[in-house]
Amino acid sequence: MYDHLELLFPARLISTLRDLRGETWQALVDEVRQQPAASVERLGFVLMMTRLARCGTCTIDSQRAIRGCAACARRAVERFKGDDQALLAEYQQACEEIRTFLSSHELAAR
């Protein structure tokens, strides 16, 4: 029934967001979608979109859930009030958080 819903932004939707904003955004999407699934870049994009679309607060009976992840993600990108540079900064911050997390867990595993 709700097979179109995921807990976090689904990486398989990255390419569908490409044409929603300007050249900076399009270049980012092009770069990220070519990265391996477990890369910092791909994980950073998923984290950024999870925050932007507020995936963590989505519930099965919400309007966002009823529309589905693809529509929700498109809407979140279109409604972002900042410019493409601001979105790029959000992405870079998310990537830095992923790097920090991975390095801290790598040290703990030793």
How confident is the model at residue 94, as a pLDDT? 98
47 to 2, 7, 61, 77: CA distances (angstroms): 22, 12, 23, 14
Q: How far apart are CA 51 and CA 62, in angstroms?
A: 17
Q: How far apart are CA 37 and CA 24, in angstroms?
A: 22
Using alpha carbons only, what angle is made at residue 51 by residues 106 and 36, rounded to the nearest 5 degrees?
Answer: 50
Q: Are 40 and 98 in contact (CB under 8 A)?
A: yes
Kindly state the average pLDDT of the residues 13-25: 96
How confident is the model at residue 1, as a pLDDT? 42
pLDDT at 38 over 60: yes
Tell me the pLDDT tens digit for each residue of 69-103: 899 999 999 999 999 999 999 999 999 999 999 99
